[in-house]
Amino acid sequence: MTYETIQFELGEAIARITLNRPDKMNSFTAEMHDEVRRALTEIETRGARVLVLTGNGRGFCAGQDLSQRTPSPDGQPPDLGASLRNNYMPLIKRLRALPMPVVVGVNGVAAGAGASLALAGDLVIARQSASFIQSFSRLGLLPDTGGTFALPRLVGQARAMGLALLGEKLSAEQAAQWGLIWQCVPDEQFEARLEELAAHFAAAPTKGLAATKHALNQSLGNTLAEQLELECSLMSELGRSADYAEGVAAFMAKRSPVFTGK
């Protein structure tokens, strides 16, 4: 398949999606949504052990390309809710459900839906020069694409409210200090760190990581009893995996394990 608005690579273990509209700060168009959907379908069909999501140029993603949200010929404003249901909502749900770690590399500004997209990743790192902006309030809107879900859970209600209502820029360094992201990386080390994480997860016990991801996501809505039951169920399944057997064998033999993701 050919792609115009993203770059997509799918190897045996590592899948890479790079948003590729650098002249428009990688803002989303209908075409970009379609291409990301096709790329995710390939990943889901052919498999991988880690997805790396990043952007080209000086921005990670500026959210929605507003030039595609003009009134219809009859003067009716666009239905923003329909746009979310058709595009952004399924995108976030698919990323959260992927049975592998999703590593997001925020290479520059992440604004609006772009900031929410970044926070949908499982492990988020950012260049020191990058920043996060909840720019919705500047347009009379609210943080969408899962923003109102992620923000209070990551940084608490007070900070989430301040970010959402004021729309002020948050530096990558501050984002890491607040727990919004995993790590702020010096610009000159960013690419190497992203590759290091990709290589790590490409050789990791994928089934166990996928179960961990699923369990942590479910914990946000589960009671303690429900979560304990989920842990029992997942551990029963993982105990029959080849990676668990390899991990135990490697531990007993005092050698490094060779995981296959199965």
What is d(CA 61, CA 111) in angstroms, rounded to the nearest whole number? 6
| N-terminal to C-terminal alpha carbon distance within the chain | 28
**Nearest CA among 22, 18, 7 for reference residue 59:** 22
Are 114 and 26 spatial neighbours (Cβ–Cβ below 8 Å)? yes
pLDDT exceeds 80 at position 172 = yes
What average pLDDT score do residues 101-130 get?
98
What is d(CA 42, CA 103) in angstroms, rounded to the nearest whole number? 18
Domain 6-202 is found in CATH 3.40.50.800: no
pLDDT exceeds 90 at position 68 = no
Apex 131 CA angle, 219 and 40, nearest 5? 55
pLDDT exceeds 80 at position 72 = no
pLDDT at 192: 98
**Nearest CA among 139, 104, 109 for reference residue 27:** 109
pLDDT at 3: 96
pLDDT exceeds 80 at position 75 = no
What average pLDDT score do residues 59-80 get?
86
What average pLDDT score do residues 20-44 get?
97
DSSP state of 121: S
Percent of all residues in the chain with a pLDDT value above 70, rounded to a whole number: 100
pLDDT at 77: 86
What is d(CA 76, CA 176) in angstroms, rounded to the nearest whole number? 42
Which are the contacts of 94, defined by CB distance < 8 A and separation ≥ 6?
Answer: 40, 44
Query: Where exactly are the structural domains of the chain?
Result: 6-202, 206-253
Residue identified by tokens 């943080």 is 143
pLDDT exceeds 80 at position 150 = yes
pLDDT at 29: 97
Residues 233-256: tens digit of each pLDDT: 999 999 999 999 999 999 999 999
pLDDT at 19: 98
